Structure 1
């Protein structure tokens, strides 16, 4: 649908129709000399008009100038009979104007005195929207602080109970059934043209009325209802999310202002839009892109439809972007003016009706070069002109309406060579390049979403080899300046650009909605809506994840379509809900608290798995996988209950006496997310395989015995064993002891006691807590024997008493 102020881009000109139009428009191409001869007198007329403008007119866009001259009675087509231009003067004698100006109370009062009615005032952007009587245009242009006046920028959207078939393409159905996700707790801002047909979608249950709010005064009605179609797609994927709708109409700064207002008023942090202004800067960020950058810098996500502008790969691109190549200079009576030479000729044939835009890489608002744009028919008659005074208005852009079969010519009025970008919105160019995605959707902060047809026969998720739609816009985006107009690129040639990798992801289109005109919803608008729905489910799954983590999970979890990694046609691939879930789990899991474990026998052990965040509404099912001697080592992981962040993993063995090693992985059953990985070494059941005493007999109380317990292998953990003595009165022992972890032997002391007669004693040991057979060793506790009998004194006279001291081999027992 097309009107004087807008272009709704569903599939405005079907691809086959464009190709047919291009074929029918083919004519014999004139030589450069013939071109110059035919164009020279016409361009002299164009330049004469440009040179004759008043100071006020020099600030105006070409369509406003022509309309003003026509109001004054000039026959614009007198010398250019084939010329087309849009008269922007309304029936009531007023003109809608987007004014670039320093907004002050004095300016607003002056505009009011001139009969102006302001519709939007945006001091942050030095911009305002005002409706002025045509008679006041020149006076308004000369007011203090006014830099330029132009007609409102045209815009397009990207389109080309019912359940969206694209839901399966991005695995939204699996995320809902397997994990119980609905998008509960998520809030999504939707920006499109209008909310027409909302009541019908609410009545059918495709949009839940209690989960939707329009921005006050921002529903965009009357319009096409594309916003309603986008909301249906979002709610098909994430029925539990809440949303806020705002129209993108009203101009670039108005759309940027609504986005900022939605952040402040509703707390929105996630947006999706399918809106594009055709005059958005190509080589630096404009107001919308700057607002998106601010939202993202403060923790937000913005999904933008990449556009249905075609691609170099599919042979359907609507853009030519490259270094200026000068053709012959032609003296039109106002000095030499070179024209650009496209690769094969000076002209570039247009297929389909659309809107043509020329930009070059000067800083926005501070252009230092002046380029002009004209279109000609097959006989080289000029059919439209855009020759603004770019040096005065500061805007490096020319704009005009195109027509099927006409060709574009680019002239340099003043200045030096620059990279030029010619883009035909709504149509196609005969000579084209890559990089058709442009504006805020191709900015570094936005997540540009391209389109792949939803897979319907049968319905399935994206797979390698699925191809983008032929009209899905390609990258890369070439940038030269930051938002303030400071040069960031190494140089101002095509090769010197800083490139932005967009589109970033691909979503499904060709889906069903209940909205009239969108019952089959094509284009990157539908794709972007699915991306926002998946993001809402992911936010519910991982409420602790920040915007960067969600974006990276979607980016790295995508399914490669054309080549591994990013490419300019399919980005990082098709959106995969499960791929993103997998990365969100793997990025947060805390594992089982270790990486190496050892056990013996078949008793096994338990580990605690910590997910790092609560499980989703349906909980999680886990399984064990791995490599190595899994036929020996086994186990299981308990399910994770809804809302719980931990569960128990049991590791055991099937054989008591086996030896083996395995790398064990704990895996989530649906996404195959790796939640823990560790090494397990299994040994036969740890046992005592050696027990000895260092003496076979000792004299009780005179000497103790050292007992040594040996194990089959080093203990892990400590190995406890019980100890008993058959006669504690003769030889006592501790009741238990332990082999320390990492050790293989343990000594303990058998304390002997005095006995009256030789006493055999048995010491026995066994693993604590078991009924294993005792391991026994015996020795004898000997009774003491006389060692010596010493007289004192050893000599003496008769009658001297002698004391004899009897010494024993050990202490005498109690009682002697």
Structure 2
């Protein structure tokens, strides 16, 4: 009798230690025995299994020692055949498989295959068997792969979990986590009172706090909890002294010629820590920092004081600016709140150098939304572009027709080869001592951003050894209904006898395949095959309102003899598409934002942060990375804001972009004249930007291609675009803003897209009468009349605002003509 062998996901927690194939063999054998008329020999259609009658040859992996496992197996109908220092091989009755699966001394049991090759037929799919050392526990699916393994490893070895999970925020037996409520966050907060849980922050629907590792299993049972994930350690974009950027950006010239020092301007910095190393007082004494810095919140433990180094760079260029600091290392919710806190405390300009690996690629997350919120209030926001260059792979999921068997479950294997061949693995090199992290995502909306249905696919990613058999790192979160993301970290400690490793990707059997999936890698590695060299700029630096800053080594700029300037090889490439709005709706077309906007110098001096280089004559440490470039750009913006405090963020941005030195992306074949996705508009020049401002050159919205065609259908029309402008200025939002006034052929047709566009237009050109404020009853009506074709004095009759600087119909009409 032939058993029906169909793939499925293991759901019985008692059999979690059983290899997927053995579980199915056991179930099929039960069906065979329970049939009314069992006839013939049991045959599960698995030719590589070594079976005879009701017995099967198996391989068992011990949790502790071989001796302990063999002792426990003596209580069963088990025939020992051989053993080594890592496994036991023998024969056992199929009916006893569930019983041995519960042995505390056992980690995993799987078939011992006939020695032909490592592929067998499963539903006509070739199967590759991977040794999976990680714990899966369906009862803890809500907590995801990393917290589940943390809990189990914590029970086994509580004194060493910090070493085993260096990418998590662990302290004295507690772990920092993010929690997502099933419905009401207040209900979840109330339920958390029964745990050893400390609330750190909350933002929107997300709660962040510390909980005892030993209580994670109880946490997973809460009905009010939709899912929880660890707060992954964020990355800062690092790659009596004065920064060389002062010369590279001509800021020294700008201060002398235009008499600006940043006075009256407040610049806020977000990074890891400010004074955990204790050097701030000395920096103030030597003049490398001002005598007073408003520290809203510092990191409670650890930290490299990179924030203080950033403040030094700002102080060098804008020495009289007021400075403030807040840590961004308390999780995404705390970062988002920190942005709002700095703005509330009076920051005119904010700059950060932090990225969280679980910020969405294809959707604006909570940090990006906080950036847009403060920019709409008039705060200029600068963010480091990132230091991963083009260390990114992206592709549709190509189903290879083959299957990965990971012991407890199976996955459809992705084919990395875009041609006619099939290759289940991508080779990468990680040198000895190299540390890497990967954020892997696909084109589904985040539940943590927009609620709703979350991800419809479950996809996993793994790092394997040179032999492609042993999983060394990876992530196996239960994604469906949650967030479409997997994150893992790995260090090559030299014990693998090779620097060659392989990445594999698989999805839940027979599930939908994503049209776009992507990983961004961080750290010291190189891709040896199937390298798509894709974009690595993502998250809040990709927010509409953020000014993303790339990096050029100060020695590779015109002030130091290199013209045109040269981009750092690690400076992030942009082009990551936005596919979903914040409500989780797929956009009609992918939105590719012009990023990075600008480049600023890095590799410059601080008093303590970084390492000295031979390229300069001094012995001061040099601070590399877009982490160093971003504060230089923010400081130049501070000089502009002192020169004209009325400048809004768009005007500041346009001044920096329009006066930058054009640069080239070396990855493209020809020189990239104008904007490109690696160097933006080029290296900023403070003196040129201030000169343009002093000469009263109009800061045109054309730098962003903003026009009166609000819905983007190619035609500025009164009954669509005009009404959208008026409604927006009357504070209509959401569906009320766009209801029945968006053209049928519009390219911007969601409320979010139009709100974002009009927010930029409001701070750029909607102020038709030039009184410094875009008002519905004045500017809104003027714009609407203009689009209806009204000209002359009828255009402005009775609708000019108080303090208007454009007062004639002809003057206003000529102004608006520039935005058709």
TM-score by length of 2: 0.60
Q: Determine whether 1:467 maps to 2:550.
A: no
Other-structure match for 1:687 = none
In the comparison of the two structures, how many residue pairs are matched? 530
**Residue 443 of structure 1, CA deviation:** 2.1
| Change beyond 3 A, Cα 1:158–1:34 | farther
Distance 1:170 1:579 in 2: 9
Cα deviation code 1:570-590 (max 9, x no counterpart): 111000113322332344689
1:489 positional shift:
4.3
SS across alignment from 1:391: coil
2:143 is aligned to 60
Q: What are the equivalent positions in structure 2 for 1:257-406 lying under 5 Å apart? A: 257-264=337-344, 266-310=345-389, 317-330=390-403, 332=405, 337-343=412-418, 345-348=423-426, 349-351=428-430, 352-365=434-447, 366-380=454-468, 381-392=470-481, 394-404=482-492, 405=499, 406=501
Structure 2 counterpart of 1:625: none
Mapped partners of 2:260, 2:169: distance in 1: 53
What does residue range 156-305 of structure 1 map to in structure 2 within 5 Å?
156-196=235-275, 197-210=279-292, 212-215=293-296, 217-218=297-298, 222-264=302-344, 266-305=345-384
Task: Assess, with a 3 A threshold, how the Cα gap between structure 1 residues 87 and 200 changes in structure 2: closer, same or farther.
Answer: closer
| Residues 179 and 335 of structure 1, relative CA distance in 2, 3 Å threshold | closer
Q: CA deviation at 1:219?
A: 5.3
In structure 2, the partner of 1:542 is 644
Counterpart CA distance in 2 for 1:561 and 1:89 is 39
Matches within 5 A, 1:38-49: 40=127, 42-43=129-130
Structure 1 residue matching 2:207: 3-state secondary structure = strand
- Note the alpha carbon deviations across 1:25-70, whole angstroms, 9 max, x for none: xxxxxxxx988679956448689x65x511xx11112111122233
User: In the aligned structure 1, how far is the partner of 2:323 from the partner of 2:536?
Assistant: 30
Aligned match of 1:411 in 506, 509, 512? 506
- 1:598-617 matches, within 5 Å, as none
Distance 1:163 1:91 in 2: 37
C-alpha distance in structure 1 between counterparts of 2:167 and 2:561, whole Å = 49
Structure 1 residues 258, 589: CA separation in 2 closer, same or farther (over 3 Å shift)?
closer
Structure 1 pair 554–544 and aligned structure 2 pair: CA distance change class (3 A): same
Tell me, yes or no, if the aligned pair for 1:66 and 1:85 is still in contact at 8 Å.
no
Shift of residue 144, structure 1, vs aligned partner? 3.5
Measure, in 2, the Cα distance between the counterparts of 1:91 and 1:159.
Answer: 25
CA distance in 1, matches of 2:359, 2:339: 16
Rate the CA distance shift 1:278–1:45 in 2: closer, same or farther, 3 A.
closer
The structure-2 alpha-carbon separation of the partners of 1:43 and 1:556, relative to structure 1 and needing over 3 Å to count, comes to: same
Q: Deviations over 1:442-465 (max 9, x none)?
A: 22211110010103798449742x
8 Å contact from structure 1 (residues 84, 384) kept in 2: no
SS in 1 for 2:316: helix
Partner of 1:568: 677
Instruction: Find the aligned partners of 1:580 and 1:461 in 2 and give their Cα distance.
Output: 21
Are 1:577 and 2:686 matched, yes or no?
yes
> How far has the Cα of 1:72 moved from its partner?
5.4
Label 1:200 to 1:462 Cα distance change in 2 as closer, same or farther (>3 A): farther
Give 1:257 deviation, angstroms.
0.5
- Tell whether the 8 Å contact from 2:557 to 2:563 is kept in structure 1 after alignment: no
Q: Does the 8 Å CA contact 1:62/1:385 hold for their aligned counterparts?
A: no
Partner Cα separation in structure 2 for residue 578 and residue 90 of structure 1:
47
Cα distance in 1 between the residues matched to 2:404 and 2:436: 31
Matches within 5 A, 1:144-159: 144-159=223-238
The equivalent of 1:526 in structure 2 is 628
* Residue in structure 1 matched with residue 576 of structure 2 by the alignment: 477
Structure 2 CA distance for aligned equivalents of residues 268 and 125 of structure 1: 23
Residue 807 of structure 1 corresponds to none
1:506 and 2:591 matched:
no
- Give per-residue Cα distances to partners, 1:223-273, cap 9 Å, x unaligned: 212111111111111111111101111101111011112222x12231011
Question: SS in structure 1 opposite 2:555?
Answer: coil
Structure with higher helix content: 2
- Deviation of 1:476 after TM superposition, in Å, equals 1.6
Deviation of 1:94 (Å)? 3.7
- Determine if contact 1:452/1:506 at 8 Å carries over to the other structure: yes
**Which structure 1 segments of 5+ residues have no match?**
1-32, 76-82, 311-316, 491-496, 591-611, 614-816
Taking the aligned partners of 1:353 and 1:71, their CA distance within structure 2 comes to 23
Q: Secondary structure at the match of 2:580?
A: coil
**Mapped contact 1:350–1:424 kept (Cα < 8 A):** no
Distance change (3 Å), C-alpha of 1:323 and 1:270: same
Corresponding position: 1:420 with 2:517: yes
Q: Contact between 2:234 and 2:356, CA under 8 Å: does it hold in 1?
A: yes
CA distance in 1, matches of 2:185, 2:582: 23
Alpha carbons 1:350, 1:403 under 8 Å: kept: no
Does the Cα contact within 8 Å between 1:167 and 1:173 map onto a contact in 2? yes
Cα deviation digits, residues 277-314 of structure 1 (max 9, x gap): 1111111111111100111122221110101112xxxx
8 Å Cα contact 2:185/2:207 also seen in 1:
no
| Cα deviation 1:545-589 (Å, max 9, x = unaligned) | 222111111111111012321111211100011332233234468
SS at match of 1:250: coil
Larger radius of gyration: 1
Asked whether the equivalents of residues 446 and 584 of structure 2 are also in contact (C-alpha less than 8 Å), the reply is yes
Per-residue displacement from partner, 1:642-670 (whole Å, max 9, x unpaired)?
A: xxxxxxxxxxxxxxxxxxxxxxxxxxxxx
* 3-state SS, counterpart of residue 480 of structure 1: strand
Q: Secondary structure at the match of 2:189?
A: helix
Residue 175 of structure 2 corresponds to which residue in structure 1?
Answer: 95
Structure 2 match to 1:118: 199
Q: CA deviation at 1:402?
A: 2.5
Find out whether 1:438 has 2:538 as its counterpart: yes
| Cα displacement (A) at 1:104 | 4.2
1:690-739 deviation digits (Å, cap 9, x = unpaired):
xxxxxxxxxxxxxxxxxxxxxxxxxxxxxxxxxxxxxxxxxxxxxxxxxx
Higher strand share: 1
Q: Does 1:137 align with 2:226?
A: no
CA distance in 2, matches of 1:272, 1:193: 13
- Mapped contact 1:67–1:88 kept (Cα < 8 A): no
Deviation at 1:85, TM superposition (A): 6.5
Listed as ranges, the gaps of 5+ residues in structure 2 are: 1-115, 448-453, 493-498, 612-620, 665-671, 700-769, 772-820
